[in-house]
Amino acid sequence: MEAPEQGIERLHHFVSERRRALGISRTQMFARGGPSPSTMNKALTGDRGLSRTTLERIDRALGWSPGSAESVMDGGIPTSHIPSPDAGCPAHDHVVAVLESLRTQLHTAEQLVEDLLGSSHAR
């Protein structure tokens, strides 16, 4: 699906793609410091706009550079924020958590492939 040209629908498109890439739900995004699922729903239905603080929370939760969510709503694209590995840096901790999640997902996928190939060779 092509991204809308601007506005909350465009942001929703990129947020959904990023969550899918990270393998996280709306609730997990909230746990990472993002806006609550209800805040996002209210923004999508037009019941509520998104404050600058909410946009900043989206950037942090998804590992985007500051200002990315706001830029997306204006027709831009998000950029990833790669933090320095300083001890205790919340952004670095976020990257480590994402990488650990990817490792788990890759291990699970590898096991599924082995199971499928093993069962297909047995036939």
Read off φ and ψ for residue 84, nearest 5 degrees: -75, 150
**Could you tell me which residues come within 8 angstroms of residue 78 by beta carbon, excluding any fewer than 6 positions away?**
14, 18, 59, 62, 64, 65, 68, 69, 71, 72
Exposed, middle or buried by CB within 10 Å (0-12, 13-18, 19+), for 50?
buried
pTM over 0.75: no
Mean pLDDT of 4-18: 89
CATH architecture of 1-81: Orthogonal Bundle (1.10)
Mean pLDDT of 46-61: 87
From the list 74, 37, 38, 39, the residue with the least C-alpha distance to 53 is: 39
pLDDT-derived band at 100, boundaries 50, 70, 90: confident
Residue-wise pLDDT tens digits, 77-94:
998 876 555 555 666 677
Residue-wise pLDDT tens digits, 54-73:
999 999 999 899 999 999 99
